[in-house]
Amino acid sequence: MRADIPVVLSRRQQDITKLLRENGRLAVEDLAARFAVTPQTIRRDLNELADARVITRVHGGAVIASGVENLAYDARKQVAQNAKRLIGEAAAALIPDNTSLFLNLGTTTEEVARAVAGRTGLLVVTNNMNVALELYRNQAIQVIVAGGTLRPSDGGIVGRLAADAFRQFKADIAVIGTSAIDTDGALLDYDVREVQVSRAIIENARRVMLVTDSSKFTRRAPVRIAQLEEIDILITDRLPSPELAALCRNAGVEVIETGPQESDPSA
């Protein structure tokens, strides 16, 4: 579909887009059953929506594409759930006991919190209320919550006050998420206030670990957090291209992939 031709969506395609905004990710078979059409018809709809950059195709289905506004928190939690769990476990395996740790916003960093919830001797500084609620019951983990503006959409604490709180510490490891990764290695987000905090986290950690599922490589966001060369370890289910793998090598980023390569996204 040429970019200079206005996009006219069918009623079903409009409904598919609305469902994706509400759910984050949907499978071809589920959509076919919902609309009482064949999987082939749904694949054609999804391919046309992907050509129009309304959605992003993934193996067996689609996720919503967004350039200026993030998905709702509940929808983000449903995207790549199993991949995020495995990424969280892989990250936790690299975090020893008796370590100081930064954990920022994101559903993948929350999986890291779940994976370290039974550990001992951790000092965790976070601006993520969901992370704090995951960890505070363990008396062997000290949790410090950054102050600042509480974002009601997802329990994130953002802004200058939160960034200043992180600057009071020098953590052994920072575990960060991102909303999107551009082809030039830029890590991107939607909220300038959140990026303020992420920058403070990166600048005050001895090692920086980026945890992100592969859907982030196909998304867009407007605000720059950092470049790949500021990251020490990237943990993802898969790198989408040899070019990105080369970019990581050239930037000196250690890459850990937790899942197999996905097959053709038209499936």
Per-residue 3-state assignment (H helix, E strand, C coil) for the chain: CCCCCCCCCCHHHHHHHHHHHHHCEEEHHHHHHHHCCCHHHHHHHHHHHHHCCCEEEECCEEEECCCCCCCCHHHHHHCCHHHHHHHHHHHHHCCCCCCEEEECCCHHHHHHHHHHCCCCCEEEEECEHHHHHHHCCCCCEEEEECCCEEECCCCEEECHHHHHHHCCCCEEEEEECCCEECCCCEEEECCHHHHHHHHHHHHCEEEEEEECCHHHHHCCCCEEEEEHHHCCEEEECCCCCHHHHHHHHHHCCEEEECCCCCCCCCC
pLDDT for res 264 = 40
Confirm if 175 and 105 have CB atoms less than 8 A apart.
Answer: no
Share of the chain above pLDDT 90, in %: 66
pLDDT for 222 beyond 60: yes
Tell me which of 171 and 64 has the higher pLDDT.
171
CATH of range 11-65; options 1.10.10.10, 3.10.20.30, 2.60.260.40, 3.30.70.370? 1.10.10.10
pLDDT for 4 beyond 50: no
Annotated domain spans of the chain? 11-65, 80-257
Q: Position 47: which residue type?
A: N
pLDDT for 51 beyond 90: no
* 11-65 and 80-257 share one fold: no
pLDDT for res 263 = 41
Share of the chain above pLDDT 70, in %: 87
pLDDT for 266 beyond 50: no
Q: Report pLDDT digits (tens) over 130-175.
A: 999 999 999 999 999 999 999 888 889 999 999 999 999 999 999 9
Confidence of residue 52 (pLDDT cuts 50, 70, 90): confident
pLDDT for 129 beyond 70: yes
Tell me which of 236 and 265 has the higher pLDDT.
236
Confidence of residue 217 (pLDDT cuts 50, 70, 90): confident
pLDDT for res 28 = 93
pLDDT for res 262 = 46
Identify the CATH class of 80-257: alpha beta
Confidence of residue 67 (pLDDT cuts 50, 70, 90): low
